[in-house]
Amino acid sequence: MFLRHLADCREFKAGDDSILRELLHPEKADLKIRYSLAHAKVTAGRKTKPHRLKSSEVYYIMTGSGLMHIDEESFEVGPDCAIYIPPNSMQYIENTGNCDLMFLCIVDPAWRKEDEEVPNS
């Protein structure tokens, strides 16, 4: 069995400027999974940098409200929304509320630095 508490995960600033805590990654624990799972936070009034991943990604919004941008589309998101982000899509999310926007990120296959592009960084 493998159990990980969010409080035990190191918080760091990701390349897109979100605040992440990595919960599960197949290369960092003996897990028979091909995806990675992270907890993300974007503080009120902030947004992530536009970026793209070679992998597909799913965001699951837990708290807060925002505006999700994927390529040329934009739509409002809030608690209990699941968002599919196709591979190689330019994406970013804005926190439009007055509290932290918190969500889970599932990347499949698992996130790798070399698979992410953050233009103008």
Distance CA(63)–CA(56), nearest Å, equals 22
- Say which residues have a Cβ less than 8 Å from residue 35's Cβ, sequence separation at least 6: 24, 26, 106, 107, 108, 109, 110
- Angle, CA 115 vertex, CA 62 and CA 43 arms, to 5°: 30
First to last CA, the chain: 39
Please tell me the predicted confidence (pLDDT) of residue 30: 87
- Say which residues have a Cβ less than 8 Å from residue 7's Cβ, sequence separation at least 6: none
pLDDT digits (tens, 9 = 90+) for 10-61: 999 999 999 999 999 999 888 999 999 999 999 999 999 999 999 999 999 9
Please tell me the predicted confidence (pLDDT) of residue 14: 94
Please tell me the predicted confidence (pLDDT) of residue 106: 98
- CATH architecture label of 13-111: Sandwich (2.60)
* pTM (2 d.p.): 0.94
Please tell me the predicted confidence (pLDDT) of residue 121: 64
pLDDT digits (tens, 9 = 90+) for 106-120: 999 999 999 999 997
